[in-house]
């Protein structure tokens, strides 16, 4: 980003050129913007500066208060405070966020101001490449610890949720659209919705499920063939029919896997019965004859 000298104040972050690691965040004023990076009252930072080339990236702000708040935000975002649980080995900020402006926790108004100040500011290619680097297992562990117990803001959850449409197995609409997979599960108790939306399952709970953004009325949905699981005695006399293996388990108390082995022709019988999978349409037609 090109520094605008018409701006009086700025926040900045310092990066080790060889590794791309951000080690220090601070704030400054216009008249100091052209001065070379000078030693700080910070032994750790000065030792790093002796052995590595440091690049300073400046972000102009409208006033000093906003520069201080942006400095805090940068420290939290890049974890440059030495006491931050996610701080790297070279983090150099001795004083943590809120030290300079006297506020340990930010109000919503302050957060909004910082958010507005960041609009339109694009990350440099160097930072983009740094963020693409795979995280080490230790870094991932620290991230998990830092996020434990935290709840995502409602606005973030809304952005993450994708509306879901429910279709019959023949591809026709049921008329039901849900705000998210979570809502479907809460209201219907049906699981594996996500796997259906990702194409890893054909159906769940007797329905086809699609992300609304991936579906349109002209889309050709391949109808899913529907079956009865039919129970016979060993002399092939018809006893009963079921919509699913789960129904058999609930009604008769038989283990699902044993029934499945019969349907796959790996076993001839299960629990003294023969089990076959028959197309529902064919079964109904044969009954009506």
For 194-244, what is each residue's pLDDT tens digit? Answer: 888 888 888 888 888 888 888 776 666 666 677 888 999 989 898 998 888
Taking CA atoms, 69 is separated from 9, 15, 200, 278, in Å, by: 12, 20, 46, 68
Instruction: Report all structural domains of the chain as residue ranges with CATH numbers, in order of start.
Output: 9-147 (no CATH), 160-214 (1.10.10.10), 227-288 (1.10.10.10)
Which tokens belong to 71? Answer: 């400095």
> What's the whole-model pTM score?
0.37
Q: Give the pLDDT band of residue 289 (cuts 50, 70, 90).
A: low
User: Phi-psi category of 170—alpha, beta or left, where left has phi over 0 and alpha has psi -120 to 50?
Assistant: alpha
pLDDT tens-digit series, residues 9-58? 888 899 998 889 998 988 887 645 444 555 555 778 888 888 888 898 88
């Amino acid at each position: 980003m090109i520094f605008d000298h018409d701006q009086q104040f700025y926040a900045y972050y310092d990066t080790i050129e060889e590794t791309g690691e951000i080690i220090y965040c601070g704030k400054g004023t216009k008249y100091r913007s052209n001065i070379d990076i000078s030693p700080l009252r910070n032994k750790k930072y000065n030792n790093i500066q002796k052995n590595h080339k440091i690049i300073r990236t400046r972000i102009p702000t409208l006033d000093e208060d906003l520069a201080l708040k942006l400095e805090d935000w940068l420290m939290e975002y890049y974890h440059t405070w030495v006491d931050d649980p996610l701080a790297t080995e070279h983090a150099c900020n001795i004083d943590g966020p809120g030290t300079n402006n006297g506020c340990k926790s930010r109000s919503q108004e302050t957060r909004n101001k910082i958010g507005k100040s960041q609009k339109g500011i694009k990350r440099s290619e160097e930072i983009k490449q740094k963020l693409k680097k795979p995280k080490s297992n230790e870094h991932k562990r620290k991230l998990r610890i830092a996020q434990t117990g935290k709840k995502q803001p409602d606005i973030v959850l809304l952005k993450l949720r994708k509306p879901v449409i429910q279709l019959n197995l023949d591809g026709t609409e049921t008329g039901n659209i849900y705000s998210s997979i979570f809502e479907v599960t809460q209201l219907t108790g049906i699981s594996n919705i996500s796997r259906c939306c990702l194409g890893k399952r054909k159906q769940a709970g007797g329905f086809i499920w699609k992300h609304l953004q991936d579906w349109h009325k002209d889309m050709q949905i391949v109808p899913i063939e529907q079956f009865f699981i039919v129970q016979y005695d060993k002399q092939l006399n018809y006893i009963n029919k079921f919509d699913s293996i789960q129904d058999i388990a609930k009604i008769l108390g038989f283990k699902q896997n044993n029934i499945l082995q019969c349907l796959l022709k790996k076993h001839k019988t299960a629990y003294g019965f023969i089990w076959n999978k028959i197309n529902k349409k064919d079964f109904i037609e044969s009954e009506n004859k």
